[in-house]
Amino acid sequence: MKKTTLYDKHIEASAKMVDFAGWGMPLHYGSQISEHKSVRSDAGIFDVSHMRFLSIGGEDATAFLRLLICGDVQTLIDGQGLYSCLLTEQGGIIDDLIVYKINSNDYRMVVNAGTATKDIAWMEKQLNALGFAGKVTLSEHNDKNILALQGPNACAKFAAAFPEYAAAQELDKFHFASYADGDVFVARTGYTGEDGYEVVISDSVVIDFWDKLMASGFVPTGLGCRDTLRLEAGMSLYGNDLDEEHSPLSSALSWAVHWNKDAAEPRDFIGKNHLLQEKEAGVQQKIVGIYMTTPGVLRSGTKVTTEQGEGVLTSGGFSPTLNHSIALARIPFAHKGSECSLTIRDKEVAAKIVRPPFVKDGKANEKMIY
């Protein structure tokens, strides 16, 4: 099992370690629910260094990325990031990712741990197939760590711990800045629905960085609450809600597809033709939120029955903020309204279809109800 540079720090903080995509990662440090609440009310720190940090560079880097992913990096200014997907020719999602534009010849990308090998192989294949071999370089950084600092007090606590990086508080959402000769890369992004940063930081300084943040009142938070936080925020998890069998259009990610209809230069990208065909024929499925009104816990794989046919829970769990069970489900696109039922341990249980996010600004999202 691979270990992140902070492995011993997690053990020191009494983490329960689990195998996640071949990495020994902290599931929780005692109580997943109290960690969840710390992120909603204060500030938590996640080690997500199992995720991979890549560089894509060269004079044709922009041209390559415009073809490679479903979002258009041409829309970015230097210092801005974009959530996007790698698609198969058939429009299926190979992975979801964030790409960061340093400048038009130099990009960074964060991809999921479990899919990194497949992603890199795919990108290398496309480099050759699309004629960018030798013109665009792709490299993986193995000396970097990724820490997510999340919660309403995360930015202020970070500034107090590191006055030299206090300017990060001025960053807009999805923008980033680099400090200390690139040893510290701070992006205003996250996977919890709260304000905060994702920091990419070199091995040489990460231990000291962690210790300082601990001393500044950040609570160590594990992958367990990362999942319930992202679910409350209505964010997709690759492998659960997203996969190669489904396109962004049938996965609540239409907003991540840039069609460049009005652009002077129309843009082709891998999978575009299939997405156009899918739109033409009518998208068959969609992802919605499910709110369980009775006690019990929802799990992925559970059958959902709607008036328009069956669906399935793609992610499920207990929401500590709502004190109820919530889920994401893939159901027939034609379904309207809030009625559905779930089959839990051979029993039919009524549940509500809602519009994620389930939680906004640390509280129940009143607007999720249809």
Partner 1 sequence: MSKKLEELKYTDSHEWVSLEGDTATVGITEHAQEQLGDIVFVEVPEVGANFTAGDNAAVIESVKAASDIFSPLDGEVVAANETLSGSPEIVNSSPYEDGWLFKIKVSAADVNKLLSLEAYQKLIDS
Residue numbers of the site for partner 1 (CB under 8 A)?
16, 27-28, 31-33, 224, 228, 295-297, 299, 317-318, 325, 345
Please, which residue, 249 or 351, has the CB nearer to partner 1? 351
Q: In angstroms, rounded to a whole number, what is the distance separating the alpha carbons of residues 83 and 112?
A: 13
Please, which residue, 109 or 313, has the CB nearer to partner 1? 313
Please, which residue, 37 or 157, has the CB nearer to partner 1? 37
Cβ 4 to partner 1, closest distance in Å?
A: 21
Sign of the CA dihedral with 124 first, then 127, 130, and 134 last: negative
Please, which residue, 168 or 235, has the CB nearer to partner 1? 235
- Helices 61-68 and 116-129, interaxial angle, to 10°? 110
The pair phi, psi for residue 122, each rounded to 5°, is -65, -45
Please, which residue, 16 or 363, has the CB nearer to partner 1? 16
Q: How far is CA 312 from CA 95, 229, 270, 295, 333, in A?
A: 21, 21, 28, 19, 13
Q: In angstroms, rounded to a whole number, what is the distance separating the alpha carbons of residues 188 and 172?
A: 7
Cβ 28 to partner 1, closest distance in Å?
A: 7
Q: In angstroms, rounded to a whole number, what is the distance separating the alpha carbons of residues 92 and 274?
A: 9
Cβ 166 to partner 1, closest distance in Å?
A: 36
Q: In angstroms, rounded to a whole number, what is the distance separating the alpha carbons of residues 283 and 247?
A: 9
Please, which residue, 16 or 173, has the CB nearer to partner 1? 16
Please, which residue, 28 or 246, has the CB nearer to partner 1? 28
Cβ 293 to partner 1, closest distance in Å?
A: 14
C-beta separation of 137 from 58 below 8 A = yes
Cβ 312 to partner 1, closest distance in Å?
A: 17
Owner of token pair 């629905």: 193
Please, which residue, 131 or 296, has the CB nearer to partner 1? 296
Q: What is the radius of gyration, based on Cα positions, of the chain?
A: 21
Cβ 239 to partner 1, closest distance in Å?
A: 17
Sign of the CA dihedral with 7 first, then 13, 15, and 20 last: negative
Cβ 27 to partner 1, closest distance in Å?
A: 8
Cβ 214 to partner 1, closest distance in Å?
A: 22
207 contact partners, CB below 8 Å, separation of at least 6: 5, 6, 9
Cβ 344 to partner 1, closest distance in Å?
A: 9
C-beta separation of 165 from 159 below 8 A = yes
Length of the chain: 370
Please, which residue, 44 or 81, has the CB nearer to partner 1? 44
Candidates 134, 144, 115, 136; CA nearest to 68 is 136
Q: In angstroms, rounded to a whole number, what is the distance separating the alpha carbons of residues 162 and 216?
A: 10
